[in-house]
Structure 1
Amino acid sequence: MTDINDDTIQAAGCVLWRRSPVDGELEVCLVHRPKYDDWSHPKGKLKRDEEPLTGALREVAEETGYDAVPGTELPTAHYLANGRPKRVRYWAAEAGTGSFAPNHEVDRLLWLSPTAARNRLTQPRDRILVDALLDALRLA
């Protein structure tokens, strides 16, 4: 648990993946957030006393419309958000059933090859998560 005096924003998300329905190749899901005009992995702040994995799966469902089957935990991101430290825990997660509908948080969703996803991501720190996903899937 976090220290009561810790000002760190706690968040969680997933690097959501699937096999292409066209050619069976690996695809990574990226979401576009109009508020920040950025492309990222689905993620969000945890609710009070919410377990990180539970929050990660909730955020995937809210932002993408897909259920997700969690896999390996990926590297945790640490950075400043509006002057406050932020910690985002990530998991590899295979997309289950669902479909995307634009909403106020996410207006676009793309399924891209790992290379295209790496190139589209706005934050360099998010790119290492694509590599970590590939490593995790190779070991699975």
Structure 2
Amino acid sequence: MSAPTWRDPVVRAAGCVLWRRPPGPLLHAEAIELALVHRPKYDDWSHPKGKLKRGETALAGALREVLEETGHHCAPGPLLDTVHYTVQGHPKEVTYWAAEATTGAFAPNDEVDRVLWLPPVAARERLTQPRDRLLVNALLTSLHATE
């Protein structure tokens, strides 16, 4: 008889609310643009995120997922929130950071076919899940705190 395999019942993932400064001086936090990714498998708009690899820290996973899904490197900022929900009967938690895009360019891939850069108000409207809209608020709060 083989020994049972332990498995974490929670699916752990991480991502970023990716933002960039517009050309010219940053007048206030609302002047930024946020990156939203379109996932054709789910036909939804969300922040870049994904499951953690075995042994990977949440921050390392978040930065990897941003690069894989958007083609952008980024500078991580404050921890925003950890969101909890259920997917196909399994609990999932996704930890998010604020992250400023630095270099890179998007190329469509199997997971993400489009990236949009939108001002916060338009990003809130485009996001599919209400829980993702709350992350926009958390990002803006964190940026106001550093102004």
Q: TM-score, normalised by structure 2?
A: 0.90
User: Cα offset for 1:44?
Assistant: 0.1
RMSD between superposed Cα atoms in Å: 1.3
Distance in 2 separating the partners of 1:129 and 1:15: 7
SS at match of 1:75: strand
Distance in 1 separating the partners of 2:78 and 2:21: 17
Distance in 2 separating the partners of 1:23 and 1:114: 17
Structure 1 residues 51-101: Cα deviation after superposition (integer angstroms, max 9, x where no partner): 000000000000000001000001110000111000000000000100000
Distance in 2 separating the partners of 1:82 and 1:57: 26
1:106-125 matches, cutoff 5 A: 106-125=112-131
Alignment partner, residue 16 of structure 2 = 14
Q: Which runs of no fewer than 5 residues in structure 2 stay unpaired?
A: 1-5
Change (3 A) 1:47 1:78: same
Structure 1 window deviating more from structure 2 (22-31 vs 103-112): it is 22-31
Alignment partner, residue 44 of structure 1 = 50
Q: Find 1:98's aligned residue among 104, 109, 118.
A: 104
Q: TM-score, normalised by structure 1?
A: 0.94
Alignment partner, residue 82 of structure 1 = 88
Alignment partner, residue 129 of structure 1 = 135
Identity, % of aligned pairs? 66
Q: Which has the larger radius of gyration?
A: 2
SS at match of 1:119: helix
